[in-house]
Amino acid sequence: MGIRGLQAKADRTIRRVALVYVTASDDYPFSFMPEHFQKRPGLGLRYLAAALKAQGIAVDLFDCLFDSRRTHDLPRELNDGRYDLVGFSATHASAGQVQGVVAGLDRSLYAGRIIAGGPCSSQPEVLLDAGVDVVVVGEADQSLLALVRAYEAGAGFEAVKGIAFTDETGARIATAAPPPTPVDLLPIPDWSQYDPLSGDLFEVSMKRPYYVVMASRGCPYHCAYCVTWRYWNRKYRVRPVEQVLDEVQFLVQARGARYIRFLDDVFALRLDWLQAFCEGVERRGLRFSWGITLHPLTFGSGRRKAFEMLQKAGCQMVNYGAQSADPAVLKTIGRSPDEPDALREAIPMANAMGFATVLTYIFGLPGDTLQTLRGNVDFVTAVRPTLVDFHPLDYLPGSDLVDCIPVEARCALPQSEIQGLCRKAFLEYYGLRGGALRTAMYILRHNPEWLAYAGRSAGDVARLVLRIALSGVRPS
């Protein structure tokens, strides 16, 4: 069974592949953030690039996450006849941009050879409708290599696990998922095409060169607003400590990394893994700063011991996805009502030890009212994190909030009011509640070189603050 529109080539050998990250779609909320502030590199395609290169296939990686102008120029770059396949990483935020680039591709070059994957693959019909020929659903490490072999052999694509496509008859085909990728077999991602002077300005502990690593895949939690669990096929797998240390050592010693952001949904759930990792950093003499994301309940009664190990190993930032300070709201999204109490202990403890602490909140969750949203601001004022992010709920296709919770159970506040409340919370916390002063004091005391990075984006920062202060219109 073949792919609709696939044109067989006399030479089926796949010699060169283009892998592409695009920016968020222009109409997506906060699409301006990566381009101006959160210049964090993509990681998934770098794993795939390393795997393809190990098979003798040349790869060009187009990381346009921070450059909307380059995204719009992509069809011209991709239509020069160099590539046998083109693959996109697509999120729900970037699906519209993927569609725009695909529409500009020369079908005589790419007939049947346009591939997409990434978080949006949980809704493969969205990408197929956008003109993509094959969607790799979930993890692509095994499926992409099998797909390349099928292209070269002219074999039936229904034998490739973990893909969705439209066949010659117009029928939509979805094959069975492959077994989870063994995390101990993952290669070191390919960093040959990367500007290490990128970085996330919202990480006030950041230094450059800046890199990212994942020490685990998946998430053990099932939050109602999230689709991560679906992308990772409901699995949570921690990589072997020594393998992660090898990757970190490569980045520090071969690439000069001074800061590494771990992209795990939840870093180091087990205290014994964390201890082995932190001791390994010291044993190998690795000197770098790093930041992580934790769940509010991570480490429990062992929290102080964990923070002491993190501090000694060079970790400088801990980020918590708090989402709400109201126990009843937390229960509606599949979270524990005990999380605010855990954060009341964790944030002051981490602050006292010199960590940059970050809390993020979602406004507009089921059960949210003006009182619960006011409670979020009161809570962060009491625990005094270094940074706080307030943002409106995004209804992600495939999440329980979209698929399982009735519309009438959603937050009754209109979206325009929720956006205004986020803006008001931002201004109140940083302006009236001392948040800006706390942030500035942390930077001056712990990481003054951050000011040099921010200075290059001073105009963007000033315009962002002004727009938040004066308008409910999304910055662009």
Residue 86 has pLDDT above 90, yes or no: yes
Between β-strands 114-117 and 58-63, what pairing exists: parallel, antiparallel or unpaired? unpaired
Q: Looking at 14-23, 208-217, 230-239, which range is the least confident one? A: 230-239
For residue 419, the enclosing domain spans 195-470
Does 203 reside within a domain? yes
Regarding whether 233 and 95 lie in a shared domain, the answer is: no
pLDDT value, residue 229:
81
Q: What distance in Å separates the CA atoms of residue 475 and residue 469, rounded to the nearest whole number?
A: 11
Strand 387-392, strand 114-117: pairing: unpaired
Q: What integer pLDDT is reported at residue 274 of this predicted model? A: 98
Name the average pLDDT for the chain: 91
User: 224 and 151 in one domain?
Assistant: no
Q: Is the model's pLDDT at 61 over the cut of 90?
A: yes
Q: Are residues 217 and 147 in the same domain?
A: no
CA distances for 288 relative to 160, 189, 228, angstroms = 41, 19, 29
State whether 272 and 391 are in the same domain.
yes
**pLDDT the model gives residue 25:** 80
CATH of residue 401's domain is: 3.80.30.20
CATH of the domain at 157: 3.40.50.10090
Residue that terminates a domain, selected from 110, 140, 174: 174
Residue 3 lies in a domain: no
Query: Quick one: 127 and 251 in the same domain?
Result: no
Same domain for 257 and 150, yes or no, is no
**6 is a domain residue:** no
Considering the domain architecture, whether residues 228 and 139 belong to the same structural domain is answered as no
Q: Are residues 36 and 143 in the same domain?
A: yes
Check whether residue 268 and residue 373 sit in a common domain: yes
Task: Identify whether residues 379 and 275 lie together within a single domain.
Answer: yes
**476 pLDDT band (50/70/90 cuts)?**
very low
Is 116 in the same domain as 32? yes
Please check whether residue 152 lies inside any domain of the structure. Answer: yes
Given a cut of 90, is residue 455 above it in pLDDT? no
Provide CB contacts within 8 A for 465, sequence distance 6+: none
What is the 3 state secondary structure string of 361-403? Answer: EEECCCCCCHHHHHHHHHHHHHHCCCEEEEEECCCCCCCHHHH
Q: Is residue 162 part of a domain?
A: yes
Nearest CA to 438 out of 378, 373, 357, 325 is that of 357
Q: What is the pLDDT of residues 142-165, one digit of tens each?
A: 999 999 999 999 878 999 999 999
Res 11 pLDDT > 80: no
Tell whether the torsion through CA atoms of 71, 145, 266 and 290 is positive or negative.
Answer: negative
User: Which residues is 38 bridged to in the sheet?
Assistant: 200
Mapping DSSP to helix (H, G, I), strand (E, B) and coil, where does residue 101 land? helix
| Average confidence (pLDDT) over 424-451 | 95
pLDDT (tens digit per residue) in 306-334 = 999 999 999 999 999 999 999 999 999 99
Query: Domain tally for the chain?
Result: 2
**Residue 248 sits in the same domain as residue 279:** yes
What pLDDT was estimated at residue 103? Answer: 95
* Assigned domain for 5 exists: no
